[in-house]
Amino acid sequence: MTARRTTVVLFGATGDLSRRKLLPGLLHLFQTGLLEDVQIIGTSLEEHTTDSFREFAAEAVHEYSGDDGDTDSWPEFSERLHWAPGAEGAAGLRAAVEKAEADWDGSDVVRLHYLSVPPKAALAVVRTLDEADLARGARIVMEKPFGVDLESARDLNAKLHEVFTESQIYRIDHFLGKEAAQNILAFRFANGLFEPIWHRNNIDHIQIDVPEELGLAQRASFYESTGAYRDMVVTHLFQVLAFTAMEPPTDLSPVAINAEKNKVFRSLVPIEPSEVVRGQYDGYRDIDGVAPESETETFIALKCHIDNWRWAGVPFYLRTGKRMAESARIISIAFKEPPRSMFPKNSGVGDHGPDHLTFDLADRARMSLSFYGKRPGPGMRLDKLSMQFAMTDTGWAGSVLEAYERLIYDAARGDHTLFTDSEGIERLWEVSAPLLQDPPVIRPYRQGSWGPNQIHQLVSPYAWRLPFERAWRDPNAMGA
């Protein structure tokens, strides 16, 4: 299914996100035919012309589009790039859009406004769109964060709704655009083997773990006003939690899926500060733009609870941070161990913890199911084994869209499935209030570690799943 004629107005068109993700992604969507009939108007406060913007875009796509053949379409794609000088305001923007659409008859056109701008600039862009008469019937893609607390989120939503209806707003979370995240829905609800056991009777605890190796040298001024909880947990990890914990929707429509996600958010117990560990990596306060006595967390781990029939008593552990040992995006489901073991002492059963189902949400899109099996030979000696699946093992790998590509395509089609709504966002800030009002002390941690030592007390009597004791298998390696 291809989208209709689409005009993409890209605010912040010369920024880092546009250079690395948005412009290469739009080229790929054009090359694949998913957004074949598209015009793109870039705008920012930088001084550019259409020609210089095309030169900027050419450098971006040749650097970040890889070797998949997308750049073969560059000559035709470049003719669809236009520039609207930010200094000319609403009138200049309107003129640029009309010029780009001059060859269309004005019917069946989707206008998609992508706000790749700092949060403080978002409402100014919304006012410009209103003044330019480009809001009516259009769609607007908003980048995180969506407020910094309940009051600011409500205020932001109220001002957005003065210009756009909720159905026109697409609050983007690139985590949910990943193929592996959507695979959770397929895995849970399409398989009779797993759907019945996705329940407190069978699941012991769940971990959602998103450590990052990157630091904050380029984002410190932004991060000082947000921190890891606002930047990552509210906007990303809670959304992944909802996909993991939601009840079966009546169908796969955006309305049905969002309804079930919001039920999860309504069932979330307010975050208890005593069940949170906040950390800051050594050297963060030495970065330009960071206060000498900064109390901003670059790491956070928390225990949260969903108070409903399915998940009562099952703890969810969330962890994310900067400058950690490795970058990963893992959901780990720990199953309950058998109530009684008939296996002899020293057989190995229980030595390696419970059985786990693991989703790797990184671009490689992998899943693993671990279990105990008998070691060949005399006696009853058990070892931990695993079955693994990777998207690269299939013939589908070339069909995978990068997260931003999928989300742009879905917004152009009017599909809200992978986007968050105002109700869900406001509820998440509501459950966050106890933590934001009384945050626990900041703990230092070494760069390249897994966070402050206090995380082990938080997860006790369990253990963090990362780092893995066993590496993912490479099916292409010798002997695999």
pLDDT at 214 over 80: yes
Contact yes or no for 111/7 (Cβ under 8 A): yes
5-143: CATH topology: Rossmann fold (3.40.50)
CA 404/CA 410 separation, integer angstroms: 10
* pLDDT for 1: 44
For residue 479, the model assigns a pLDDT of: 45
CA distance 321 to 454: 14
Label residue 161 by pLDDT band (50, 70, 90): very high
Average pLDDT estimate for 439-461: 96
- 15: closest CA among 48, 38, 37, 39? 48
Can you read off the two tokens belonging to residue 104?
């269309």
User: 342: Cβ–Cβ under 8 A, 6 or more apart, which residues?
Assistant: none
Q: From its phi and psi, is residue 95 left (phi > 0), alpha (psi between -120 and 50) or beta?
A: alpha
Of these ranges, 61-65, 192-196, 396-400, 434-438, the one predicted with the greatest mean pLDDT is: 434-438
Catalytic member of 205, 236, 305, 356: 236
User: What is residue 274's DSSP assignment?
Assistant: G
Candidate ranges 14-18, 348-352, 370-374; pick with highest mean pLDDT: 14-18
Which whole number is the average pLDDT over 396-422?
81
Residue 337 has pLDDT above 80, yes or no: no
Could you write out the DSSP letters of every residue in 49-110? Answer: -HHHHHHHHHHHHHHHSTTSSGGGGHHHHHTTEEE--GGGHHHHHHHHHHHHTTTS-SSSEE
Q: Which residue has the higher pLDDT, 71 or 313?
A: 313
Residue that has been written with the tokens 């009939």 in this structure: 37
User: What integer pLDDT is reported at residue 63 of this predicted model?
Assistant: 87
What the block records as the tokens of 479 is: 């002997």
The reported pLDDT for the residue numbered 422 is: 92
Cα distance from N-terminal residue to C-terminal residue, the chain? 38
Q: Measuring CA to CA, which residue among 283, 245, 284 is closest to residue 265?
A: 245
Answer whether residue 330 shows pLDDT above 50: yes
Q: What was the pLDDT predicted at 325?
A: 95
Give tens-digit pLDDT for 86-111: 889 999 999 999 999 988 876 688 99
Residue 397: band (very low, low, confident or very high) from pLDDT cuts 50, 70, 90: very low
Summarize the annotated binding site for substrate as residue ranges: 174, 178, 212, 231, 322
- The pLDDT value recorded for residue 388 is 72
Mean pLDDT of 304-333: 95
Alpha carbons 355 and 383: distance in angstroms, whole number: 12
Predicted local confidence at residue 66, as pLDDT = 64
Check if the beta carbon of residue 193 is closer than 8 Å to that of residue 171: no
- The more confident residue out of 353 and 143 is 143
Task: Encode pLDDT of 354-375 as tens digits.
Answer: 677 888 877 666 777 767 666 6
Q: Which residues are annotated as a binding site for NADP(+)?
A: 12-19, 144
pLDDT of residue 480: 44
Which whole number is the average pLDDT over 229-258? 91
Cβ atoms of residues 277 and 464 within 8 Å: no
Tokens of 46: 């930088």
Distance CA 139, CA 264 (A): 27
Q: Which of 235, 4, 2 is nearest to 112 (CA)?
A: 4
Give domain limits for the chain: 5-143, 176-400+422-459
Percent of the chain residues past pLDDT 90, beyond the cut: 55
Q: Quote the pTM value.
A: 0.88
- When the pLDDT of each residue in the chain is averaged and rounded to a whole number, the result is 87
Tell me the range of 174-183, 382-391, 443-452 where mean pLDDT is highest: 443-452
Distance CA 139, CA 114 (A): 9
Residue 161 bears catalytic tag? no
Cα–Cα distance for residue pair 328/6, rounded to 1 Å = 35
CB 254 within 8 A of CB 417: yes
Three-state SS at 397: helix
* Distance, CA of 207 to CA of 317 (rounded, Å): 5
Strand partners, 324: 449
- The bridge status of strand 330-335 relative to strand 356-360 is antiparallel
Q: Per-residue pLDDT averaged across 264-269, rounded?
A: 97
Q: Which two tokens stand for residue 302?
A: 């928390």
Both tokens assigned to 150: 């309940």
Enclosing H/E stretch for 181: helix 179-189
Higher pLDDT, 73 or 55: 55
What average pLDDT does this structure show over 370-399? 65
Q: What does DSSP say about strands 316-321 and 203-211: parallel, antiparallel, or unpaired?
A: parallel
Residue 38 and residue 8 in contact, taking contact as beta carbons nearer than 8 Å: yes
Strand partners, 320: 210, 300
Least confident span in 35-49, 54-68, 137-151: 54-68
With contact defined as beta carbons under 8 Å apart, do 415 and 168 qualify?
no
Q: What's the pLDDT at 209?
A: 95
**Cα(26)–Cα(354) distance, integer angstroms:** 44
Which residues make up each annotated binding site? 12-19, 144, 174, 178, 212, 231, 322
CA–CA distance, 407 with 410 (Å, rounded to integer): 5
Q: What's residue 194's pLDDT?
A: 81
The pLDDT value given to residue 406: 87
CA nearest to 129, candidates 214, 41, 53? 41
Q: Is 319 helix (H, G, I), strand (E, B) or coil?
A: strand
Q: Looking at the domain that runs over 176-400+422-459, which CATH code has it been given?
A: 3.30.360.10
> What is the model's pLDDT at position 95?
94
Kindly tell me if the per-residue pLDDT of 275 is higher than 60.
yes
CB 330 within 8 A of CB 465: yes
Q: What is the pLDDT averaged over residues 344-360?
A: 67
